[in-house]
Structure 1
Amino acid sequence: MKNRPNRLVRGALAAAALSLAVTACAEDSGSSGATNAGGESIEYGAEKSEYVDALADMDPVELVIQSTGPKDSATGRRFEDYAEAVDEWSGGKITFEFIYSNGAAGPTETHEAIADGRIDIGSVMPSLIPDEFPVTNNLWNLSHLGRQTPVDSMLQWHGIIFELATLTDEIDAEYEDHGMKLLLPGFGSGAYMPYCGEESTSLDDLKNKGIASQSRHQNAQAEALGMKPSSIAYTEMFESLERGVIDCAITTVTGAALGGYIESVPYPTFDPEVGFNSPGGSIAMSIDKWNDLPLPAQQLMIDRLDVLMQANFEGAWDNAAAAVQQVLDAGGTFSNFDEDAKAALVETNQELEAEVANSDALGDGEAFLEAAREAEARWAETVAGLDIKGLDTSYEEFPEWHDNGVPDLQPYFDVLWEDVVADRRPS
């Protein structure tokens, strides 16, 4: 497929522009010094039977995995489907014990729980602990990039995040410094936007409205719109909106649906091209447990991330369909920002980008930012060229799109794995 990033070109970019030791031809790309317990390599795309045969002599291992959601929930399905696939493709040699709803450690403590052995795999959110992850937070400083509509944004955004993380060895190294192997650089559930109790599209409309936000970057973006941000726990969001403690909340359609507060704030506002930052999560594993796995088991853990991503997309879109319908049923609308509000948001995003360009944590912040802009353009073009129906679906049209069934995403995964994830795969 045309418009895929050439790996040799990307390797040159990483070496010359990012001053990082990244090359797509490396025999152990993305490992940042991680090891394995040996074993014969399996080609990507191999049949399940080849993995089962390769792991036939492996000592069985049980991994403790923490899900962010309750059992069988739309948000937790990504973990459950992934675990089931790895179990099956390993011939039962890799099994999982589940802890649900962040039962072992909250979002700001999961990295510690992985490092100290309470869990083996979990979702780490570097944007909530920026002092612990100064390099990685440059990635999340740019998480406003990409389209903001419900279908194409999910595909483009994940491509951007994966590519930037793969270009930057220091991100993997930072996780390893915390006792973790980075499996999935990032996952999200859609675009963030303010949901308010009345239609609010201009700076005058938004001025002095209290709004719940989830990161310092969202605070800055809300303040640029003249709003008054505050940090309110997710569990307290419903009551805060009901009591009028806040007027709005910055959230995704998934968050709004699960929070049950759309009836109080059925007026989301966004711009199709200008986004809010996402405090998205990553998936990480104990580096000690990773290093104990034989090579084909490590390859399997990476190769079946497509199952996790498929479940993440489907779960997010299930919640999005429900949320959009709730907005419409409540008499609300999805509105676009007026030009003055859009301009204020653009200016603040440029300031966040300038932080990246000037970051001391990166070898070359300006080159990292330039790589991000190139990735944004490339993945917009790549996604647009895929044979996936309804990429330009609007929020109002989304429930009908969803009723027709999630389209085949294999063309997307083929590009993502060939152009990016293959460089993270141990060999």
Structure 2
Amino acid sequence: MKNTSLRTAGSLVAASVLALGLAGCAESSGSSGAGNGGGESVPVGADQETYVDALADMDPVTLQMQSTAPQGAATGRRFEDYAAAVEEWSGGKISFEIAYANAIAPVPEVDDALVDGRLDVGSVIAALEPSKFPVNNALWDLSFIGSQEPVEGLLQWHGAMIQTAVESDAVQQEFEENGLHALLPTFGSGSYFWDCVEPATTEDDFAGRTVASQSRIQNLQAEALGMSPSTISYAEMFESLERGVVDCAASSMTTSSLGGFIPAAPYFSYAPDEGMAAPGGTFAISLATWEQLPLAAQQLLQDRMDVVLQANFEATWENIDAGLTAIADADGEVVQLDPAAQEVIAGVNDAALEEVRGDNPELADALVAAEDAWAEQVEGLGIEGVDVDYTGYQDWYANGTPDLTAYFEQLQDVLSSQRPS
């Protein structure tokens, strides 16, 4: 299933065709070609033994990494699992010191911390700094793409967004100009919903309500439905919903579940093919740190992005399951917007696409094409129940996380284009 507004545009296209140096490291990288990625190269798809052998002469290095979550939390697994995998595959030559729950730098300052040496690796949210990352923000403005269902939507969204970002010279150059190397340019935690105190599926239901929103495009979508957007931090969300400061929140199931505000607002509505803009992150490393590492170390850091994504998917699906349980416990529900309200969202999305196309036509058209391509690829994976909706989700989830080997093989083909060599 594909986003209606981008599918239309896709037909037109077819017709025309995350102190400098190693200040954040405990030790400097070493003799196996340190500096600008020198040294032995490891082929794509190499096994652990090959990497251990290639890095045998490397001086040990400890990278400072910041997790967005407390130690052991589901959403922090992408950092913890990644650190463990890289340390194992490097034969202990690369290790990480993890600062949990944004202990070193608050979210809007992670990019600065990567540049000034407080951090080596962290999660950057480019959407918080549109003046520094205008091209990335254009891409995030279109993050409403694809199916909004919990399994196929998550896989399709990551494939299309990652491919578009990796293949865009402008996106990659923007990270480098800001002192970053994007190991994984885009990742998210699932579709966004209108999460409300009272049920809402029609324009009349939404009219006059106040909503806590998270992005410019979400503001436009809310206003089109007759709501008034308001900026409220996640720390204040539960009290704001419970006391009626806002009537709704634009939120993913992950955020609502972890934030604990589902009991205050248990009514979730969405459009299955017309998404809401979904702010996400970039898994980034300091460019200065990156350039000082041996080539094989760079390749290893890049190649294990599959671990980050696997942990991200598992955490998202776990949080959706927990969210649906909390919704049921609060006598809430997950429902689709009525057709007219879906058309309102589609109109905003169409306009956003044309706005981006006006300034960044190559970026917009590349995302349209990638959306269609990844819809087909995900459908062809053969994952049982990949098209499940939220009504049947918990039965699907009870069967365990699917084998995503084929998916990561396809994604590796995309990521290999930014793999150092």
Q: Same fold per TM (> 0.5)?
A: yes
Q: Which amino acid aligns with 1:378?
A: A
- Report the secondary structure of 2:250's partner residue: strand
Contact preservation (8 Å) 1:66, 1:119:
yes
Aligned to 2:418: 424
Alignment partner of 1:411 out of 406, 412, 419: 406
Displacement after TM superposition at 1:407 (Å): 0.7
Mapping 1:70-219, distance limit 5 Å: 70-219=70-219
Displacement after TM superposition at 1:197 (Å): 1.5
Task: State the Cα deviation string for residues 62-104 of structure 1 (Å, max 9, x = none).
Answer: 1000001110000111000001000000000001011111111
Aligned to 1:394: 389
Task: State the Cα deviation string for residues 254-301 of structure 1 (Å, max 9, x = none).
Answer: 011001111111111111100000110011111111011111111100
Contact preservation (8 Å) 1:164, 1:372:
yes
Aligned to 1:49: 49
Identity of aligned residues (%): 49
Mapping 1:259-338, distance limit 5 Å: 259-338=259-338
Q: Give the Cα–Cα distance (whole angstroms) in 1 for the partners of residues 236 and 55 of structure 2.
A: 47
- Report the secondary structure of 1:348's partner residue: helix
Displacement after TM superposition at 1:387 (Å): 2.0
Q: Give the Cα–Cα distance (whole angstroms) in 1 for the partners of residues 317 and 343 of structure 2.
A: 29
Displacement after TM superposition at 1:337 (Å): 1.0
Q: Normalising by the residue count of structure 1, what TM-score does the alignment of the two structures yield?
A: 0.89
Structure 1 segments, 4+ long, off by >4 Å, are: none
Task: Identify the range of structure 1 (333-342 vs 245-254) with the bigger mean alpha-carbon deviation.
Answer: 333-342
Aligned to 2:257: 257
Displacement after TM superposition at 1:368 (Å): 2.3
Displacement after TM superposition at 1:371 (Å): 1.7
Displacement after TM superposition at 1:336 (Å): 1.0
- Report the secondary structure of 2:313's partner residue: helix
Q: Which amino acid aligns with 2:386?
A: L
Q: Give the Cα–Cα distance (whole angstroms) in 1 for the partners of residues 39 and 383 of structure 2.
A: 38
Q: Give the Cα–Cα distance (whole angstroms) in 2 for the partners of residues 368 and 300 of structure 1.
A: 28
Task: State the Cα deviation string for residues 7-33 of structure 1 (Å, max 9, x = none).
Answer: xxxxxx9xx98xxxxxxxxxxxxxxxx
Cα RMSD (Å) of the superposition?
A: 1.4
| Structure 1 residue ranges without an equivalent (≥5) | 1-12, 18-34, 360-364
Displacement after TM superposition at 1:106 (Å): 1.6
Q: Which amino acid aligns with 1:425?
A: R
| Structure 2 residue ranges without an equivalent (≥5) | 1-12, 18-34
Task: State the Cα deviation string for residues 371-423 of structure 1 (Å, max 9, x = none).
Answer: 211111111011000021221111122122112110101110011112x1111
Q: Which amino acid aligns with 1:354?
A: E
Aligned residues: 390
Displacement after TM superposition at 1:347 (Å): 1.0
Aligned to 1:4: none
Contact preservation (8 Å) 2:37, 2:298:
no
Q: Which amino acid aligns with 1:102?
A: N
Q: Normalising by the residue count of structure 2, what TM-score does the alignment of the two structures yield?
A: 0.91
Contact preservation (8 Å) 1:151, 1:393:
yes
